[in-house]
Amino acid sequence: MSAPDPTSGPGDDPAGLLTLDELTRRSGLSVRNIRFYTSRGLVPAPIRRGRSGYYNADHLARLELVRELQAHGFTLAAIEKYVARIPADATPETIALHRSLLAPWMAELPETLSRKELGRRAGRDLTDDDLDTLNALGIVFPTKQGKYQVALAHLSVGVSLLDLGMPFDAALAAQDIFQAHGRAIADELTELFRTKVWPAYVEGGATPEQIREVVEKFKPVTVAALVTAYESAVDEAKRETVARRVR
């Protein structure tokens, strides 16, 4: 990635510049990490004022993007490839938009609960077998600290399946199906957004804020469309099953 001119850039008014210490406080990263990311071209070189180096909103936005990518499990090589596709003159607002596209699709993030808290939220004590089944369904995940990451939006449905005697093997097989087809749908929708939706709004002169709003509204519409398509497919599958039995 080609870096901007290190002697100037957007936001390089001295009043808006940050020292290295200020950047570490704002970004939450160490001096060592910032210098390492700079050496790898993930952020531009500091802006020189005499013998001192300063940073601006562009540096901070790119560091925050790197942290976001790391939080999503990207390797350093993958982060370098991702950042290399962002124009060197991209504004902090545009970089923030890239971060918004990485945000979890679900509005409600998992919560970390103790086993006692989990039982209270579930409305009853959960056995080890119950927890294994909920884990297979992708609802409850144990942590190294002895607690559980819980998708609370789906917990009541998972408990209802437990009450109906959902076999563990069936839950595991169902989750495999969900993950396989879910990943395929996610890949195709991501490519659709990247090649058709985003370029259309950019060419139309939409601001990063407007595109971010489109992303947020695209989420519930997509989920609703998937539910409708799934319900229609299930109805069609049932009709075909009945027709085969009649024949």
- The mean pLDDT of 35-47, rounded to a whole number, is 92
Quickly list H helices, the chain: 20-27, 31-39, 57-71, 76-84, 92-102, 115-122, 128-136, 152-163, 168-192, 198-203, 208-246
Q: Give the separation between CA 84 and CA 1, rounded to whole angstroms.
A: 5
Whether 12 has a pLDDT exceeding 60, the answer reads no
Closest listed residue to residue 148, CA positions, set 168, 131, 124, 167 = 131
Cα distances from 114 to residues 121, 129, 147, in angstroms, run 11, 17, 5
Q: Give the separation between CA 193 and CA 90, rounded to whole angstroms.
A: 19
pTM score, two decimals?
A: 0.55
Q: Give the separation between CA 130 and CA 163, rounded to whole angstroms.
A: 10
Q: Give the separation between CA 114 and CA 216, rounded to whole angstroms.
A: 31
Q: Give the separation between CA 3 and CA 137, rounded to whole angstroms.
A: 45
Write phi, then psi, for 135 (nearest 5 degrees).
-65, -45
CA angle 47, 99, 187 (to 5 degrees): 135
Most confident residue range from 24-28, 107-111, 213-217, 221-225: 24-28
Q: Where in the chain are the domains? A: 14-102, 111-169, 175-246
Q: What is the CATH number of domain 14-102?
A: 1.10.1660.10
Whether 4 has a pLDDT exceeding 50, the answer reads no
pLDDT digits (tens, 9 = 90+) for 136-188: 988 999 998 899 999 888 899 999 999 999 899 998 898 889 888 888 888 88
Q: What is the pLDDT of residue 70?
A: 86
Q: Give the separation between CA 191 and CA 221, rounded to whole angstroms.
A: 17
CB atoms within 10 A of CB 19: 13
pLDDT digits (tens, 9 = 90+) for 95-123: 877 777 776 665 556 789 999 999 999 99
